[in-house]
């Protein structure tokens, strides 16, 4: 009987490790998706700024994009 419990425990441990890994992978994918959105939005902010001949730089474009995307998810 104890042997069966150990086997089940090992299976549970393996399943838990897989679930944790899957969750971590999903979080990484969401993070990458977030930064991809920031990158794309920053580019469009840059295009708008250049078209309007406004003063600014890439850092301010990035910060503005990051704030917009964060607001979208909050």
Domain boundaries, the chain: 2-73
Q: What pLDDT, on the 0 to 100 scale, is given for residue 25?
A: 60
Nearest 5°: phi and psi at 7? -60, -45
Q: What pLDDT, on the 0 to 100 scale, is given for residue 37?
A: 93
Q: What pLDDT, on the 0 to 100 scale, is given for residue 4?
A: 47
- Rounded-to-integer distance, Cα 8 and Cα 13, Å: 8
Encode pLDDT of 16-67 as tens digits. Answer: 566 655 665 666 567 788 999 999 999 999 999 999 999 999 999 999 999 9
- Cα 18 to Cα 4, 15, 32, distances in angstroms: 21, 5, 21
Q: What pLDDT, on the 0 to 100 scale, is given for residue 53?
A: 96
């Amino acid at each position: 009987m104890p042997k069966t419990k150990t086997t089940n425990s090992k299976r549970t441990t393996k399943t838990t490790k897989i679930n944790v890994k899957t969750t971590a992978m999903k979080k990484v994918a969401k993070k990458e998706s977030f930064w991809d959105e920031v990158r794309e939005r920053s580019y469009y902010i840059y295009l708008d700024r250049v078209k309007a001949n406004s003063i600014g730089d890439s850092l301010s474009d990035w910060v503005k994009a990051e704030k917009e995307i964060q607001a979208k998810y909050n």
